[in-house]
Structure 1
Amino acid sequence: MLAALLAAGNDWCHGYELAKQANIKSGTLYPLLIRLESQGYLEAVWQEAAETGRPPRHAYRLTATGRQLARDGLGETGAVSIKSGGGAIA
């Protein structure tokens, strides 16, 4: 997921796209996105739908700190672990 966000640069990504690219379920993805945002690694905004009648969607992108964290972690192993309290984000 962080690799997909890193590849997007400053472009906003939607959760559905990230879930497909990272091959993870939404029940795993969204708690990770929330935690990354709360730790300052990710920005999130609501975007109006392009099609009439569709609900607005959250869009995400890495902050400068998040990009550095992703580069550092992905450069070595291809996976990132972010320590937070008693848990980690992979």
Structure 2
Amino acid sequence: MERLSRLTPATIDVLKMLVAAEGPVWGLQIVKTTGRPSGSVYPILDRLESSGWVSSAWEDDTSRRGPRRRYYQLQQEARELAAAAVTTLENKQKTMRSSRVRPAGLAEA
């Protein structure tokens, strides 16, 4: 498993979804849940899979109509690292929000 070089907010959203999932997650479900465009989510999933963080498999159900679904699952070895990355970014965002400079003339309550 390789270290991730880019942990963008979109990557964190995808990791958050995968950490919360109890099993494989359909790619379009990740797109819908994260609210990120498929043009961002699928390259992230590809990068995570190439790095060994995620595995994927095509569905075997031939009775379902429509295109085959590809399911993604966070590797067990990556679960702790992914959860830590999500927590780190969330804490960083909280710190940034709380330390924003207030406009002059506004008193604190």
TM-score exceeds 0.5: yes
Say how many residue pairs are matched. Answer: 78
TM-score, normalization by structure 2: 0.63
Q: Which has the larger radius of gyration?
A: 2
In structure 1, C-alpha distance between the alignment counterparts of 2:85 and 2:41, rounded to whole Å: 18
Instruction: Judging by fraction of residues, say which structure has more strand.
Output: 1
Deviation, structure 1 residue 71: 1.1
Partner residue of 2:10? none
1:38 and 1:67 map into 2 onto residues whose CA distance is: 16
Match of 1:46 in 2: 58
RMSD of aligned C-alpha atoms?
1.9
Does the CA-based 8 Å contact 1:49-1:57 persist in structure 2? no
Encode CA deviations 1:16-68: one digit per residue, 9 max, x unaligned: 11011111000111111011001000010000347533222110010023212
Gaps spanning 5+ residues in structure 1: where?
A: 80-90
- Which of the two has greater helix per residue? 2
Identity %: 31
Residues 46 and 74 of structure 1: CA distance in aligned 2, closer, same or farther (over 3 Å): same
Q: TM-score, normalised by structure 1?
A: 0.75
